[in-house]
Amino acid sequence: MLDSINEKDTWPVDDISTGDSWRIFRIMAEFVEGFEILSRVKPAVSIFGSARVKPNQKIYKQTVALAKGLAEAGYGIISGGGPGIMEAANKGAAEGGGQSVGLNIQLPFEQKPNPYANIKLDFRYFFVRKVMFLKYAMAYIILPGGFGTLDEFFEALTLIQTKRLRPFPVILMDSSYWQGLLDWLKDQVLENCRISPEDMEIFQVLDDPEEIIKVITRTVIL
């Protein structure tokens, strides 16, 4: 929640004089708008990944195909609303005739919303946005990405591990990208008893978009 605690360091001067009590109302307004709009979204799959991926890259095209297949199967698609993998997810959802949700975040360097989301929300606070991903997703697909992608991945693992969130499919796509992380989790975190063997079963690693679609359609009943 550091984005809310330290926001005066990066946001316009007129916000500096805004007391914390008034900030609560702005946070509450984001929750209310998110709940009202996303409650109308059909069972959805959240797709995460790097904003830096380009449309000519293989993983972008695979994401479009994945999201399109899920949309055609009847699932809504939720992304972070920005470029890269997020754009590919929303594009595939739109091409598949499904609900294409973009949860954009306001950043100091101006993350630009992609044009493919047909349901758009704009958030100032990361933690409010993360609640929306978790509350309205029936599955998570984690594609190659950076800190933000890892944050969403480990947030889901933590909440499922501690039984604060119902178990749902958490899928890492592109095993070659994630192999180093998987080796570290096994060789360091698991080997040193920082997690239990069953914790490694909370997620799975798959490469084929068609296989991922089959796993979700078997697990997440519409």
Torsion of CA 101, 23, 4, 100, to 10 degrees: 0
Residue with tokens 């480990």: 154
Instruction: Flag residues of the chain having pLDDT under 50.
Output: 1-14, 16
What is the model's pLDDT at position 220? 86
| Cβ neighbours of 120 (radius 10 Å) | 16
How do the domains of the chain map onto residue ranges? 2-219
What per-residue confidence (pLDDT) applies to 50?
A: 97
Strands 137-142 and 119-123: unpaired
What per-residue string of b and e applies to 84-104 under the rule 16 or more CB within 10 Å gives b? bbbbbbbbbbbbbebbbbbbb
Neighbours of 170 (CB within 10 A): 19
Residue that is written with structure tokens 């997440």 in the block: 220
Per CATH, which fold does 2-219 belong to?
Answer: Rossmann fold (3.40.50)
Amino acid (1-letter code) at residue 124: R
For 87-133, the pLDDT digits (tens) are 999 999 999 999 999 999 988 775 789 999 999 999 999 999 999 99
Q: CA 135 to CA 125: how far, in whole Å?
A: 16
* Residue 18 confidence (pLDDT): 54
Q: What pLDDT, on a 0 to 100 scale, did the predictor assign at position 21? A: 80
The pairing of strands 203-206 and 170-173 is parallel
CA distances from 146 to 77, 96, 111, 204 (A): 20, 27, 15, 19
Nearest alpha carbon to residue 140 among 156, 128, 161? 156
For residues 45 and 220, what is the distance between their CA atoms, to the nearest angstrom? 9
